[in-house]
Chains A and B, each alone.
Chain A
Amino acid sequence: MMSLGPYASFIVTSYALVTAVVLILIIAIAIDYRSLRQRLRELDQSGITRRSGRSAADLR
């Protein structure tokens, strides 16, 4: 492991914080995506269609 000097804890904390926040962003967006698709699928199954007549769960 490279020597990080006397302030190693600061360096590690910074990188850890950046990693944590980026991961939180990614996970939050992913969870949001899954829950939205799930709810759209449920609505689709109950027969509600969009104005164009296409299915709600269709992503194309």
Chain B
Amino acid sequence: MTLIDLANPSKFLSLTARVLPWLAAATAIVLAIGLYQSAAAPDDYQQGATVKIMFIHVPNAWLSMLVWGVMSLAALGTLVWRHPLADVAAKAAAPIGAAFTFLALVTGALWGRPMWGTYWEWDARLTSVLILFLMYLGLIALWRAVEDPSRAARAGAVLTLVGAINLPIIKFSVDWWNTLHQPASVMRLGGPTLDRAFLVPLLVMAAAFSLLFVTLLLAAMRNEILRRRLRSLQMMQARAFSSEVDTGSHEGNAPKPKFGAA
């Protein structure tokens, strides 16, 4: 099945119906393994047991950026190649990405309190993630503000791409801003030289959250396709009803259409 086949919403729906249970199962299994490994991980000699927060904080932080990357690819798909499902993917991904970003911020704050003594600090990393969260919310607001799905898609796609360009700029400028103001405390994280005992659970949890994202994304995309179907059918129904009224053709021969929860 090629990418072109995937562009057909119906084919996508049938593919999703087949694949989703397996994805959900895989997510659950990997998540269970990751949680077990996180629980079994030793205590850090400096942070003690609070290092366990890292196993849920870092994957969420990675995913918050990965999701924006996926949305940016989808945005290119909408604007450049006009792939029919690109905007469906983008719209479905935004709330999920916002949730991951929110979790990254909150778990980071809860990790920061024991580690640095404060829930929040205006250092480069935290500040840029906070701005990323604001951008997610702005994007979701834009999606909801425009009625027509395809116009909302194109507006959202442009904003996503501009945001993608802006994120490294923000990261760099906040870094500069922070070093200019001499941070109050020095941030010490695991860093790239993470011990294997911590690295393995971290990577497993990252894989689990990534699988979770793909599962949720496909399910949300399915919902979005159904929602668009519903919308066009409701419009057809409204048209049919209004034309019946116009021609005065309901003289008891055809049963009146039942109106569901419109």
Chain A residues proximal to chain B, CB less than 8 Å: 2-8, 10-11, 13-15, 17-18, 21-22, 24-26, 29-30, 32-33, 35-40, 42-43, 45-48, 50, 56, 59-60
Contacts and interface: CB of A to CB of B under 8 A. Distances in A.
Contacts of B107: 14, 17-18
Contacts of A59: 13-14, 17
Contact of B49 (A5, A17, A43): A5
Interface in B96-117: 96, 99, 102-103, 106-107, 110-111, 113-114
B96 A43 contact: no
A43 to B, nearest CB: 5
A30 B230 CA distance: 17
A47 B152 CA distance: 30
Interface in B202-260: 212, 216, 219-220, 222-223, 226-227, 229-230, 232-234, 236-237, 240, 257-260
B49 A8 contact: yes
Contact of B103 (A2, A17, A56): A17
B57 interface: yes
B221 to A, nearest CB: 10
Nearest to B108: A14
Given A32-B223, A36-B226, A43-B233, A6 B257 contact: no
B229 A26 contact: no
Interface of B: 10, 13-14, 17, 39, 43, 48-50, 52-53, 56-57, 60, 95-96, 99, 102-103, 106-107, 110-111, 113-114, 212, 216, 219-220, 222-223, 226-227, 229-230, 232-234, 236-237, 240, 257-261
A25 B213 CA distance: 10
A40 B230 contact: yes
B99 A25 contact: yes
Contacts of B222: 33
23 contacts: A2-B39, A3-B49, A4-B49, A5-B43, A7-B113, A7-B114, A14-B56, A14-B57, A17-B110, A24-B99, A33-B226, A36-B223, A36-B226, A36-B227, A39-B260, A42-B258, A43-B233, A43-B234, A46-B258, A46-B259, A56-B230, A56-B233, A59-B13
Given A11-B52, A14-B107, A25-B99, 15 more contacts: A4-B52, A5-B50, A7-B48, A8-B49, A11-B50, A11-B53, A14-B57, A15-B52, A18-B103, A25-B96, A29-B220, A39-B261, A43-B233, A59-B17, A60-B17
Nearest to B107: A14
Query: Chain A contact residues: over half helix, strand or loop, or mixed?
Result: helix
A32 to B, nearest CB: 5
Contacts of A22: 99, 212
Nearest to B24: A26
B56 A15 contact: yes
A25 to B, nearest CB: 6
Contact of B237 (A8, A29, A48): A48
Given A14-B57, A43-B260, A60-B14, A29 B216 contact: yes
